[in-house]
Structure 1
Amino acid sequence: MLINWYPGHMAKAKRLIEANLKVIDVVIELVDARIPLSSTNPMIAQFIGQKPSVVVLNKADLADPAVLKEWKAYYVSQGRRVMLLNSRDGKGVQQLVKLVRTLAEPKLARWRARGLKNRSVRTMILGIPNVGKSTLINKLARRSAAKTADKPGETKGKQWVHIGDQLDLLDTPGVLWPKLENQVSAYRLAATGAISDAAFDMETVLTQLVAELSQWYPQLLTARFKLDALAADPMETIEAIGRKRGCIVSGGAVDLEKTYKLILKEYRDGKIGPISLDRVGEFADKGRDSQ
């Protein structure tokens, strides 16, 4: 299942970002806390270059706290500034604003030395689709400044948003990379909603997801779906969930399509529990695309 999803507006977004980076003081790189490196577009490191930046692990409330702690330590070991954030309730947003101002201060000091005392801090949020950029912007601006959606690719063009005293933010569309070589990362991106549901095979993604949940979070899976035990075959577990939830078609067979969507929604909404799919050991020594 090689997922390739790079529509025309993605290429346009890439050009837009590159054209506007020269006026940006600090870059906020937003990733999904459940899959930090799978949701990291490798092109973003090239965009950022030597600019001050902070990597924000968004949707931290949906991730496994123990694994999240390991990821935070990993980013620090890489020399990155890192923050955890739950953009739904705004926890951590004001700390992010303070950090952006701190990172921008050396450049602002140079502007002041040249007599430009009223120069605003300019920041940009970069990330893949559906990682929570618009929701975060609305929390920063304390109003509905950016359109939010549950499907990727909703932000079409750039817009400047004033988010505080002498602090402006450039919203940009999410960008996926042209080809997803790493199939583990590809399915995890699909599972979390970064890729349109129409662009992948539901059975393949759900089989992989249930296999990993069975390995790492068996108690959460059995508790949520009231299962006595988990089968060795993920498909048997999926069918058991379908029967428990009444996803049955005429003749008594399990409605697999309905069951896939049910499991996927409950995972994405955090109803199964706090879950992390990416683990530091998978990536730290190998690199992102070498699994």
Structure 2
Amino acid sequence: MGIQWFPGHMRATLRALSERLKTIDVVIELLDARLPGSSANPLLAELIAGKPTLKVLNKEDLADPARTAQWLQYYAARQATRAIALHAQMAGPARVLVAECRRLAPHRGGMAKPLRVLIAGIPNVGKSTLMNTLLGRRVAQAADEPGVTRREQRVALADDVYLFDTPGLLWPKIVAPDSGWRLAASGAIGRNAYDEEDVALALLRQLQADHPDRLQARYRLPGTAAEVAAQPAHELLQAIGRRRGALLPGGQVDPHKAAEAVLGDFRSGALGRVTLETPQAFEAWMAAAHAAEAQRQAERAAARASRRRDAPPSDAGV
């Protein structure tokens, strides 16, 4: 399942972000706590090049607490990096973020050297909602759709702490299909870039492996949790569609509406606190994806070289 989404405004965002980073002391990267690896932007990692970074696992109230702890440890082990988990409704997030940023840049602070912080993240990761919560007023438009924020904003978190908010940014090529469908399932990718039924089936397979009991309870499915886990995903989607009344004329299941129901339940937390990846699994599939991509590039280079060798000599200069 190849999923790609990099609309034109993201190219402009990338250029603006590159310029803004030259003046920034600390970068806050907002991640989705349900997919902390897949929602980390590799483009941003290249751009910040060792700059002090605070990894914030947002929506942690929707994520599995044990796996959140694993991810916090994974990111905190990196140089010049701290990691925390929060959700937009928690009390006092501004104090927590300011304190963590000050620890990362102790040489900055005071009116003479204000701390300059940039917050970045993928689309629909909750940046706008968090910004509104931080300041206690609406400064950013929030919606359950990716790509709502389109321009940079600057706000004061404290007298000597300035926060620059940037539009959500993906990267031009998602090399790992495992990350692609997870991003789509979370709502980070525009709906025109993927097939909802394919994404719902991939999500169901993951939930069958990790939480078959929750699927059984949510959709009141017959049989045991073990039987739900063993059922082919397409049959399970049909069963869910029947239970949710996602039917076409004649009584057939509408797979698109059934897929929408599954994705909506995951995004809202109706399926419980779910984290779709562990650090170990993420590193394994990313390594495999990068190896496959390197192989494809090598094959393309070999094919181009072969075409050049086989091309007839040029008549230039004759």
Q: TM-score, normalised by structure 2?
A: 0.84
**Gap runs ≥5 in structure 2:** 292-318
Shift in CA distance, 198/126, structure 1 to aligned 2, threshold 3 Å:
same
Matches within 5 A, 1:34-183: 34-79=34-79, 80-90=81-91, 92-108=93-109, 117-183=111-177
Match of 2:316 in 1: none
Kept in 1, the 8 Å contact 2:102–2:108? The answer is: no
CA distances 1:204-259 after superposition (whole Å, capped 9, x unpaired): 11110011101111111111111123152111111111111122222111121111
In structure 2, the residue corresponding to 1:83 is in which secondary structure? strand
Deviation, structure 1 residue 73: 1.5
**Count of matched residue pairs:** 284
Runs of 4+ in structure 1 off by over 6 angstroms are none
Kept in 1, the 8 Å contact 2:5–2:193? The answer is: yes
| Cα distance in structure 2, aligned partners of 1:183 and 1:267 | 19
Shift in CA distance, 162/93, structure 1 to aligned 2, threshold 3 Å:
closer
Higher relative contact order (CA 8 A, sep 6+): 1
User: Which amino acid is the alignment partner of residue 89 of structure 2?
Assistant: R
Alignment RMSD, CA only? 1.8
Structure 1 residues 133-142 or 9-18, which shifts more? Answer: 133-142
CA distances 1:112-159 after superposition (whole Å, capped 9, x unpaired): 7xxxx4432211101111111111111221211111111111111111
| Cα distance in structure 1, aligned partners of 2:201 and 2:169 | 26
Shift in CA distance, 286/87, structure 1 to aligned 2, threshold 3 Å:
same
In structure 2, the residue corresponding to 1:101 is in which secondary structure? helix
Max Rg structure: 2
Kept in 1, the 8 Å contact 2:75–2:83? The answer is: yes
Match of 2:231 in 1: 232
Kept in 1, the 8 Å contact 2:34–2:64? The answer is: yes
Of residues 206, 212, 218 in structure 2, which corresponds to 1:218? 212
Q: TM-score, normalised by structure 1?
A: 0.92
Deviation, structure 1 residue 163: 2.2
Kept in 2, the 8 Å contact 1:88–1:135? The answer is: no
> Which is helix-richer, 1 or 2?
2
Kept in 2, the 8 Å contact 1:90–1:139? The answer is: no
Percent identity reads: 42
| Cα distance in structure 2, aligned partners of 1:24 and 1:78 | 19
Kept in 2, the 8 Å contact 1:247–1:255? The answer is: yes
Kept in 2, the 8 Å contact 1:162–1:168? The answer is: yes
**Gap runs ≥5 in structure 1:** none
| Cα distance in structure 1, aligned partners of 2:186 and 2:91 | 20
| Cα distance in structure 2, aligned partners of 1:10 and 1:177 | 8
